[in-house]
Chain A
């Protein structure tokens, strides 16, 4: 019995060895079936070069600078405004390109802090702008001017005394952000979010707030 098993063992081993490329071949047949499911993220995959690769000028999505209003309108501390920024974003779809919209907000703070959303880098300002896409799982969060509403409506979190002012809070998983944090504007003070929300970059042109872009990066 032992001997027979041993003799068969070698044959089995060789058979198993021979089976490996066969299995590999079968997997190679399976690969396109799986690849079929994943959408292309850039045009012209598998086509001769130049045929679909370049988006024509007219195909590029429009977007860009968005005038938001004059600085004078943001006088009161904790006044805020929601807006939707259209990002010029070449994204491959059946329509060949698309523009993405980012819900966002601008908040007037009572004190100045250094905010990174400027062309020249960090600048002292009391108007901050954030994308409203939650860096946790992509819901759209809100600005809540009264911190008591955060406690009442977002799971019962009570902010410490130094943060008892307007806060940003997400309805989905109750991440809470402090827009006025001096070190990290938009710092996560409660909830599961892994980072602060993306900032919107803007500039002031002749007293008009103009949104010019969004901090690059995905949801997290």
Chain B
């Protein structure tokens, strides 16, 4: 008991020292490598989202009858409403994009390995929270896209009741009711989504502030020039592509090309391919798998060639994400045939990855044996550090 507690405490102490919420330990690297400005871009766009969000709250009316009209008013009547709303939307897009790119960077550069595990988990969690903020946020517009996205998402959880044993507790239905605030999308849902949308950012901001206060780290590490450039980009985008309104939500009609926000598109295509239980279960398992990656990947090297299997997993995931997004935009889904092809391709890629991994390890072992034979050093030249201690 005691030892376990000590080891846990030690584990956390080590990770906390190297913890990296917004790439603040990479300031020097960021000077030359733009990939390491991503964390700061995420932090900056988040602050913009929060500030503009509070600004929007002055005009927004969270009721079924008035929500859509109040958005029209913000967009077209309120002075600079288009700017505040556009900045809110596009900064939020930048936030999600930044988190996604940073995740892929951490994955392909193996930054999730010791001592980066905690940073990876927090970043992954922030993607999930960002996506929840996204889906709760765009229902607030009360347009068709948001209405049907919310309907679909909250119905998938009902299918979780089909699971053996734990399904009998009806927890899937309970989840749906908790988020819907009743048996169907209505005023209750709108109120709850408003609370969640604001609550996530508010609570996370408190947590991040506490972290900064206790670690005495600096908050903003970006140069004023870069902040200005980013702000100018957001303003220009809001001016050139005014944030969309869509059509008012109509519970009796689903429009034919119906899409979600861009970061959900791949998921949307996936839901077409699977039985409905897996529509909820798949993403759930994917999130868990993603969070556990630092503990699943026991390889020691950090280069892609030194961990061929996990490199393959990463490329497969990225390929499907991009391909599914493209497919849904083109509105192509041959449901009788595509899933088999997808499964075959995934399986094939995984097998190739596994073969590469086995070959790499065999070669590595042979090289080690060749190295250690003439000198006979104490057990293994390179693989000396005791695993996981």
A: residues with CB less than 8 A from B are: 8-9, 12, 16, 37-39, 41, 84, 91, 93, 100-101, 103, 136-142, 153, 155-157, 170-174, 190-194, 218-220
Contact = CB atoms under 8 A, between A and B. Distances in A.
Interface residues of B, number: 40
Nearest to A103: B252
Interface in B151-206: 151-152, 155-156, 158-159, 174, 177-178, 180-184, 188
Given A39-B188, A157-B336, A136 B257 contact: no
A141 B254 contact: yes
B247 interface: no
A165 to B, nearest CB: 19
Contacts of A39: 177-178, 180-182, 188
A139 B152 contact: yes
Contacts of B274: 192
Given A84-B252, A137-B276, A156 B158 contact: no
Contacts of A136: 276
A106 to B, nearest CB: 15
B187 to A, nearest CB: 9
B254 A220 contact: no
**Lowest 3 A-B CB distances belong to which pairs?**
A155-B333, A140-B254, A137-B155
A172 B333 contact: no
A194 B276 contact: yes
Contact of A93 (B152, B182, B271, B273): B182
Contact of B333 (A141, A142, A174): A174
A153 to B, nearest CB: 6
B254 A194 contact: no
Nearest to B159: A220
Contacts of A41: 177, 183
A219 B157 CA distance: 12
B177 A157 contact: no
B331 interface: yes
A136 B183 CA distance: 17
Given A41-B183, A192-B271, 12 more contacts: A12-B1, A39-B181, A84-B252, A103-B252, A137-B276, A139-B152, A140-B253, A170-B254, A171-B254, A174-B272, A192-B272, A220-B276
A171 B255 contact: yes
Contact of A190 (B181, B182, B335): B335
Nearest to B336: A190
A133 to B, nearest CB: 10
Contacts of B257: 171
A2 B252 CA distance: 72
For B2, B177, B273, B335, which residue has the most chain A Cβ atoms within 10 angstroms? Answer: B335
B387 interface: no
Interface string B331-348: 111111000000000000
A8 B276 CA distance: 51
B150 to A, nearest CB: 10
Interface string B270-304: 01111110010000000000000000000000000
25 contacts: A9-B1, A39-B177, A41-B177, A84-B252, A101-B252, A103-B251, A136-B276, A138-B152, A139-B254, A139-B258, A141-B254, A157-B334, A171-B254, A171-B257, A171-B258, A172-B152, A172-B254, A173-B268, A190-B336, A191-B335, A192-B335, A219-B158, A220-B158, A220-B159, A220-B276
A156 B334 contact: yes
Contacts of A174: 272, 333, 335
Counting chain A CB atoms within 10 Å of each CB, the highest count among B151, B181, B336 belongs to B151
B256 interface: yes
Nearest to A158: B334
Contact of A137 (B2, B152, B180, B184): B152
A101 B2 CA distance: 60
B142 interface: no
Nearest to B185: A138
Contacts of B1: 9, 12, 16
Nearest to A141: B254
Listed residue (A39, A91, A218) with the most chain B CB atoms within 10 angstroms of its CB: A39
A153 B331 contact: yes
A154 B5 CA distance: 56
Interface in B288-337: 331-336
A8 B5 CA distance: 14
Contact of A173 (B180, B255, B272): B272
A171 B252 contact: no
A171 B333 contact: no
Contacts of A171: 254-258
B90 interface: no
